[in-house]
Amino acid sequence: METLLQFLVLLGLGYFFGRRAESRHYKRIRQREQKYRELLVMPEKSPPIQYAQHKSALVSGNVVVSVDYFKKIAAGLRSIFGGRVSAYESLLDRARREAILRLQEDAHQKGADAVYNLKFETSRISQNAAQGIGSVEVLAYGTALIPTPAPAFN
């Protein structure tokens, strides 16, 4: 009985602190997304014609997000019954958005107007194969379009 109580207390603490950390991360993400709202990110393979005179450079953003204890338990229960694993969906959403923000920061530092050909790579980082996912890594990359100075006419 005592072990069950300890498990439930740990589960409750994991849920509370995990939700709190997730909520704080989403708040920071929304603030940073406002900052880079003007930097266009497109999945198209070819840049629009208005960017024909721009230089290009590879930009990327990478993030590793750890799975909290509650999400592991919730996903384990969901795997018994089947269906969507919403605990992991929010984890992947935060990871993708964070990776895009880091890509935009890289593009901004290079003076880019836009990024095209946005791609994602996602991988799981497992501490032990029997335990499932330990963390998830998301890499966002694309081609930054950097304006070239207009030629000076004399």
Percent of the chain at pLDDT > 90 equals: 41
Locate 139 and state its tokens: 């890499």
Number of domains making up the chain: 1
The reply to whether 154 falls in a domain is no
- Structure pTM? 0.80
Range of the domain at 70: 2-146
Please state the three-class secondary structure of the chain as a single string: CHHHHHHHHHHHHHHHHHHHHHHHHHHHHHHHHHHCCCCEECCCCCCCHHHCCCEEEEEEEEEEEECCHHHHHHHHHHHHHCCCCHHHHHHHHHHHHHHHHHHHHHHHHCCCCEEEEEEEEEEEECCCHHHCCCEEEEEEEEEEEECCCCCCCC
Residue 45 lies in a domain: yes
* Residue 120 belongs to a domain: yes
Residue 153 counted as domain residue:
no
| Mean pLDDT (the chain, rounded) | 84
CATH number, position 101: 3.30.110.70
151 assigned to some structural domain: no
Q: Which of 16-20, 43-47, 147-151 is the most confident on average?
A: 43-47
Residue 10 lies in a domain: yes
